[in-house]
Structure 1
């Protein structure tokens, strides 16, 4: 009997000793530094087969909403590297492609405005359009809202990661702020990409009159591009992301971004426009 009691005491002691060690290990997993959590979440997203998402973007000019800039969108990620995006109606109505809207316009004068639709695929490390149609025009805002590219960029940018207090159980909220130079570079790259997309194609001109028209367009483009470059030198940019993380699966639940652009050359003018605030938000659901 004594041998049995000693054995039980040894087992009990081992359990009591192992308990704190096991609990400490779990605590370390849950209390990883914010920067490490971000890395794990981005890796988890890259390993996910697919996910659905819905989001919105808006613009404030000196604190006043710009309704024409408001956009609602949704989409899916599939096969790790394919993204489909489409615009949504503000009331959550069924989205329409441009072709569908054109058909409906023949049937009703009060048809909903056309919506954009875009398919992207990552090839050789770059996101490219899968199709070339009317919805792939330079003014299509959807490619810039690709949530996978936004998340991937966070690993490449010069950032400072911290954690917000008071997150709901099972979640963590990471605050990710770009350095001021990085925020400026990011904005410049986006605007320069948009300018490049609308650059006139001189190779397509035919005939003397067409050549003159192409030359005039090129001169206008160069003028506007020079104005853009000058404006970029005058503005200060601050960009902050907030990433809500599902700690059970190490996957994103929500990504928001606030970009503040202040024009030092236009401060205090009657025309206003001294500050632009660009807001985006995307919610992820239905991971596969």
Structure 2
């Protein structure tokens, strides 16, 4: 709207297809709509808007501690539900970032320091989000907030409401099933590995056949090892959505994916990927 393909329903198809299931899965706040119904209305409200601007951040935590070089800020704009402009910022040597306006995207004004920026456009075709650029820019596709919202439309999600919601704002907790969380991760990693392979093939075009074969063998080996680790891992995927219930629109979506491997006894161990994205400027 901070690294796998199944058919993804369009917003309208997805909302109509899973609305009943969502309504069955939620809990109602006293005197309020069921949490899953609130989620359904927020997704429908988003679908009814022609454009929305967003800004967010992503980071990786290992054993509860953030990995500084993984910190990433991003933003962009959604238009006509199927086109997204997306930019990212990477920390400079001082660890600071600054938003660079891209095609009318609003400044975030995070600091005065300059930072390298990547930019890409995504378009949804045949149910799949496709980036127009490859490499680092193409990998921004994983930060696509609309794709994250589509994940919430899975029929086996658990939707509840967090305490403390007030003033026309409700906070919903959406948890994917363990099987769906692992599938989601596996597909994302598969996309990443395929992108790496394509880059490797391009870089080795001028090398000898022996070098190309060695690189292909290495890629196959690492891909197999990665898949095995994921098969053995415990994966959880939990979203929190802050909803403006007066207008039935998402205001913020926070997502935490936690991966724990066999042998980890401390609950604080493992890896956690966390993203947060704010939505504003609905049109």
TM range (shorter): 0.7 to 0.9
Aligned length: 238
8 Å Cα contact 1:138-1:198 kept in structure 2: no
With over 3 angstroms needed to count, the CA separation of the structure-2 counterparts of 1:226 and 1:49, relative to structure 1, is: same
| Contact kept? 2:90, 2:115, Cα under 8 Å | no
Hey, what does 2:57 align to over in structure 1? 56
Counterpart check, 1:283 vs 2:269: no
- Decide which of 142, 145, 168 is 1:144's aligned counterpart: 142
SS state at 1:264 partner? coil
Deviation (angstroms), 1:94: 3.3
Cα distance in 2 for residues equivalent to 1:206 and 1:116: 25
CA distance in 1, matches of 2:166, 2:89: 29
Instruction: For structure 2, list consecutive stretches of 5 or more residues without a partner in the other structure.
Output: 1-28, 103-112
| Rg larger in structure | 1
Residues 241-261 of structure 1: CA deviation (Å, up to 9, x unaligned): 001111111110000011111
C-alpha deviation, 1:172, in angstroms? 1.0
218 and 44 in structure 1: CA distance in 2 versus 1, 3 angstrom threshold? same
Rounded to whole Å, the distance in 2 between the matches of 1:203 and 1:120 is: 23
Moved over 3 A (4+): 88-92, 138-141, 200-207
Look up the match of 1:108: none
How far apart, CA to CA, are the structure 2 residues paired with 1:166 and 1:210? 63
2:13 maps to none
Q: TM-score, normalised by structure 2?
A: 0.76
Partner of 2:74: 73
RMSD (Å), alpha carbons: 2.7
> Which of residues 128, 132, 136 in structure 1 aligns to 2:130?
128
More helix by share: 1
SS at match of 1:51: strand
Alignment of 1:167-178 (within 5 A): 167-178=165-176
Instruction: For 2:205 and 2:220, locate their aligned partners in 1 and report how far apart those are by CA, in whole Å.
Output: 21
Distance 1:242 1:92, change over 3 A: same
CA distance in 2, matches of 1:277, 1:249: 32
Q: Tell whether the 8 Å contact from 2:63 to 2:271 is kept in structure 1 after alignment.
A: yes
In 2, distance between residues paired with 1:243 and 1:153? Answer: 13
Deviation track 1:107-131 (CA, whole Å, cap 9, x = no partner) reads xxxx9442111110111211112x3
